[in-house]
A and B are shown apart, each in its own frame.
Chain A
Amino acid sequence: MNDMRIVERKVDTNEVKIAAKDVQVYYGDNHAIKDVSVEIEDKTVTAFIGPSGCGKSTFLRCINRMNDTIDVCRVVGDIMIDGEDIYDPKVDPVQLRAKVGMVFQKPNPFPKSIYDNVAYGPKIHGLAKNKADLDNIVENALRRGAIWDEVKDRLHAPGTGLSGGQQQRLCIARAIATEPEVLLMDEPCSALDPIATAQVEELIDDLRKSYSVVIVTHSMQQAARVSQKTAFFHLGHLVEYGETTTIFTNPVDPRTESYITGRIG
């Protein structure tokens, strides 16, 4: 497969966007994330890989405090975005989530029109001054979500009537409509076919110009294709983190090598 080629892309900046230090996550008595420290750079695609249940999704959900909705979940340690601790009691998770957008594993458009799906975020955050302004924001978000051409004639049709791949791109458009700085993606392509996957991956590469993108994926090929940095999680530990090229061609840790070559996981 020539998809296996590892994209040689130079990381443009070395500015740290998200810095996690000694993060522990507990679900009740279950210690799900152990001592994870990682620095995620701005304008970079960072991939989290690892076998099922290794904690990569859990860690991703810590970055925008989606785990707050789970009663038994407890997070210890510091996660800083631009030097600010997001678990500080003064931080309002609602404000944080506007800054850190999220795309979920299963496309989950609201059962409303395509337009309303994208307009919802800007509306509740008061980003648009008037109707024309809102129309603009929606169009821009849909364009950046690479779905504008497909839906521009039926903006008021229900978002749930789109195909799976279109729905996922709609969700990405919805996430970027609120002008986030970080975009978290939890296995965004696992419910999509290869063609839709390729479209989304292309989109992710494009989004890198403006955002720091963190993507959780089960597919090592995908990680290799879209990311510049890769983090390998195993049993709640962050085993190895580095340039994607290095991780895939010359891993330091034997566990990483076993996983990459298909011997574990």
Chain B
Amino acid sequence: MTDTIMIPAADGPKKSSLLVQDARTRKRNAAETRFRIYGMAAIGVGLLFLVFLFTSILRSGLPAFTQTVVEIEFTLTQEQFDTAETKMLKTGEYQNIFVSALTEQLDASGLKVDFDNKAIERIVGKPGGTIRSFFLENPDRIGTPASFELAASSRVDGYLNGRVTRDTLVDSRFLMATDLDLVDALEDAGIIKGAFNWNFVTGKDSGVDNPGGAGLGASVIGSFFMMLVVLFLSLPIGVAASIYLEEFAPKNRWTDLIEVNISNLAAVPSIVFGILGLAVFIQFAGFPQSAPLVGGLVLTLMTLPTIIISTRASLAAVPPSIRDAALGVGASKMQSVFHHVLPLAMPGILTGTIIGLAQALGETAPLLLIGMVGFVAREYPETFVGGFTDANSAMPAQIYTWASRADPGFYEKAWGGIIILLLFLITMNAIAVLLRRRFERRW
């Protein structure tokens, strides 16, 4: 072009050295350095919180995984058995046998402590019943040495874990300061010790006054059946809805409205879904209260928007040239979607689904309203169908229930429950990452 007019500079460009930073560059560099420091500080604060969170969870929760037990071995003679069975208070007699065996072993270790039957009851409850039912079921064991592992009470547990100290202990019908001497002696003799608490992982919930026997197992099963419902309802419905909206639906006011509403649904507080579930599924449809089926239905409603949004995003991320290519060789719209677009969107869809499930797994508020919180999950479901319809609890609901119980023994159970819940969530997220890696394709 020739119509540009060249304006000659008055005295030429100013000469400057590249080796010296001018003021403007210095200012820009300083700003950049400051920004980097802010960023690192932000990440540092985040990491600090994470470390703090994990240490406090582990410190408070790990004791829930150990259980203090009193392990004792003794031989019951036929004579003792016959005598005990003729007594009015049969279990009391067995308890006496237990106490004498305990005393013998303490004496053998050279430890001398005075204690009475009441102290034993405060430490291990009433052992007579357990011993009697064992020998009634296994009469052939009479006369041979049998070993018993009896769970110690939660306060003894707390004493050995450091939660209860001699200074803080207030004498009560649960534990007296003098009992601690006996506990110390038993510990020295190796009779009382810690063991991994399988019952906590696989067991059922106990009543409000027995934190030692409380387990998360039944509510893990409840959560499992809920997740089954969520997976088998929300994945097909969510994916079908997204494919229709993204690939087939005309773009008009109606689909815009639906789109906006789906996005808004994702932001609706979960308790709203809970009260909706209470009204629709329990009060109107008459489904059983506290059932994993109802919990699953409510969580499905909650998870659907998440799945739809992530599925639509991953469908939209498939390059349009793939659709053109499929249509160009004469594939129908549906063939192009199912043969080409969907496989490419699969990693995103699966990731979204698993993240949605993980979210649903940890959700507590909606379960509050359909009666899963506060329900004492004393039984495992007996049948597969029963798993859906029998009243049960779920992991987060169980944790909430424990946290609100008075006995401090439940406090560490709640933390322990959180550890298990987090393990499940971490596993699910790891699966999501693996699936994404596995299915990821380049184009």
Main secondary structure of the interface of B (DSSP, over half): helix
- Chain B residues closer than 8 Å to A97, beta-carbon distance: 327-330
Known interface pairs A110-B340, A160-B442; A101-B328 also in contact (CB < 8 Å): yes
Complexed CA–CA distance, A177 and B323 (Å): 18
Which chain B residue lies CB-closest to A102? Answer: B328
Known interface pairs A69-B323, A106-B321, A111-B344; A120-B339 also in contact (CB < 8 Å): yes
Complexed CA–CA distance, A102 and B327 (Å): 9
Complexed CA–CA distance, A104 and B324 (Å): 8
Complexed CA–CA distance, A99 and B442 (Å): 30
Contact B344 A124 (CB under 8 A): no
Known interface pairs A66-B324, A111-B442; A121-B251 also in contact (CB < 8 Å): no
Contact A104 B328 (CB under 8 A): yes
Cβ of B146 within 8 Å of any chain A Cβ, yes or no, is no
Complexed CA–CA distance, A251 and B167 (Å): 108
Question: How many interface residues does B have (CB within 8 Å)?
Answer: 22
- Chain B residues closer than 8 Å to A174, beta-carbon distance: 325, 329
Cβ of A163 within 8 Å of any chain B Cβ, yes or no, is no
B277 to chain A, nearest CB (A): 38
- Chain A residues closer than 8 Å to B328, beta-carbon distance: 64, 66, 97, 101-104, 175
Complexed CA–CA distance, A146 and B294 (Å): 62
Contact B443 A178 (CB under 8 A): no
Interface bits B333-372 vs A (CB < 8 Å: 1, else 0): 0010001100010000000000000000000000000000
Contact B443 A160 (CB under 8 A): yes
Contact B327 A125 (CB under 8 A): no
A110 contacts which of B326, B332, B442 (Cβ < 8 Å)?
B326
Contact B324 A111 (CB under 8 A): no
Which chain B residue lies CB-closest to A171? Answer: B325
> Top 8 A-B pairs ranked by shortest CB distance?
A98-B330, A108-B321, A121-B329, A102-B328, A111-B443, A97-B330, A108-B325, A111-B441
**Residues on B facing A (Cβ under 8 Å):** 250-251, 319, 321-332, 335, 339-340, 344, 441-443
**Residues on A facing B (Cβ under 8 Å):** 64, 66, 69, 71, 94-95, 97-99, 101-104, 106, 108-111, 120-121, 124-125, 160, 171, 174-175, 177-178
- Extra contacts, 7 of them, besides A104-B325, A110-B326 (Cβ < 8 A), are A66-B324, A69-B327, A94-B330, A108-B322, A124-B331, A175-B329, A178-B329
